[in-house]
Amino acid sequence: MAGKILVTGGMGYIGSHTVVELQQNGYQAVILDNLSNSKPGMLDLITQITGIKPEFINLDMQERDGLEVFFREHHDLEGVIHFAAYKAVGESVENPLMYYRNNLGSLINMLACMTGSRAAKHLVFSSSCTVYGQPEVLPVSENAPVKPAMSPYGNTKQISEEIIEDTCQASKKFSAISLRYFNPIGAHESGLLGELPLGVPNNLVPFITQTAIGKRKQLTVFGNDYDTPDGTCIRDYIHVSDLARAHVVALERMLKKQNKESHEIFNLGTGRGYSVLEAVNAFEKTTGVKLNWKFSDRRPGDVEKVWADTGKANKVLGWKAERGLEEMMATAWKWEVNLNEGLMK
Ligand code: WQD
């Protein structure tokens, strides 16, 4: 066994895929999750894929006492991958304090426990391309200016990166890597793991698959008057399994003391942007399922176009996204079909 790694939010979409990747690379994954955006059944699905049932503790990381007890009982942790946070842009605009309290409070509790413990001096942090806002230059690189966040959610990611930077400067043995995700989509190739949006999905691809399966009547495409070739927004969609792999690579970079600075930041994208209509067409072409959709007004807060400069992750991290848009759509659809057939009660 390569070592024990804490995965906070490990029952969530990206977290669960990363737990699978960790286990398949010989690590012992321990999950902390309060199930605010997931279901207990995810544990069985992870176990079905890897044959190893991860230790799972139902804990809200806003409770510092509970977290301190956990760290005392798991003093042999080698690292932490921190996903636990709320992530719906629109919801954050309606309820900013819930986002600041949870996303920042949980991170601060986590950092206090890590810097206070003998072990777990390495943190991989789930950040986001939302820190760039609408970049002036595309593709956007890590040294692009961080612009005023377009939502409280994006602001929590910006502030979190600053909190981590200051903690790394203050605590000599502590190191961190912040991974700025672009748009994670798709599902595990087995069809046993995927995104489990509770309620009406905020994001494009789960809304596409739920419309295709008949759970939603019609997909609404938010805006067709943007300054893009077909008028719809452009995003850098990245397969969740490529994203999960990057977390293990980042963790190992620190475990092997290959990191050059105490806090490093990497974009995780494919470097290729696709419009909403291109994504819709890719889904229809890949699955053969015709989608019912219509145009509507723009969605407030949407960035017009963003895609990643992936050079630093490719060269320095030694990681590159491998899966294309068709595989992202095919795996997302396979997961939706399995859900519809009762995979997750
Ligand atoms: C993508 C495009 C919408 C739904 C997400 C996460 C955020 C961050 C970045 C990680 C936009 C359009 C959507 C629909 C649509 N990820 N759309 N109809 O807004 O880029 O942000 O990725 O940190 O947490 O939320 O992703 O999938 O919501 O939207 O037309 O029903 O699809 O307008 O252009 P977004 P999204």
pLDDT over 90 percentage in the chain:
89
For ligand 1, residues with CB inside 6 Å are 87, 89, 128, 130, 181, 183, 202-204, 207, 219-222, 233, 235, 276, 299, 302
Cα 259 to Cα 197: distance, rounded to the nearest angstrom? 35
Burial class (CB in 10 A: 0-12, 13-18, 19+), 120: buried
Q: In the beta sheet, which residues pair with residue 28?
A: 4
**Interstrand relation of 274-275 and 234-235 (parallel, antiparallel or unpaired):** antiparallel
pLDDT on residue 2:
79
DSSP class of residue 129 equals G
CA angle 94, 223, 299 (to 5 degrees): 5
Nearest-CA residue for ligand 1 atom 24 is 87
- Judge whether residue 289 has pLDDT over 70: yes
Structure tokens belonging to residue 79: 């690292």
pLDDT on residue 7:
98
pLDDT on residue 48:
97
pLDDT tier for residue 198 given thresholds of 50, 70 and 90: confident
Cα 247 to Cα 27: distance, rounded to the nearest angstrom? 13
Q: 214 vs 199, which has greater pLDDT? A: 214
Calculate mean pLDDT across residues 47-67: 96
Concatenate the DSSP letters of all residues of 48-66 into one string: HHHS---EEEE--TT-HHH
Phi, psi (rounded to 5 degrees) for 274: -130, 145
The preferred substitution site among 235, 237, 295 for testing ligand 1, maximizing ligand atoms within 8 Å of CB, is 235
- Judge whether residue 250 has pLDDT over 80: yes
The pLDDT mean for the chain works out to 95
How do residues 137-148 score in pLDDT, each as one tens digit?
A: 999 999 999 888
User: What is the 144 CA–ligand 1 centroid distance (Å)?
Assistant: 21
Cα 303 to Cα 10: distance, rounded to the nearest angstrom? 28
Q: Write down the pTM of the prediction.
A: 0.96
pLDDT tier for residue 230 given thresholds of 50, 70 and 90: very high
- Judge whether residue 54 has pLDDT over 90: yes
User: What is the 22 CA–ligand 1 centroid distance (Å)?
Assistant: 27
pLDDT on residue 333:
98
- Domains in the chain with CATH codes: 4-186+239-269 (3.40.50.720)
pLDDT tier for residue 1 given thresholds of 50, 70 and 90: low
Calculate mean pLDDT across residues 230-247: 98
pLDDT on residue 34:
96
Catalytic residue among 153, 181, 226, 274: 153
- Judge whether residue 278 has pLDDT over 80: yes
Q: For residue 194, give every residue at least 6 positions away whose Cβ sits within 8 Å of its Cβ, in sequence order, or none.
A: 13, 186, 187, 188, 240, 331, 332, 335, 336, 339
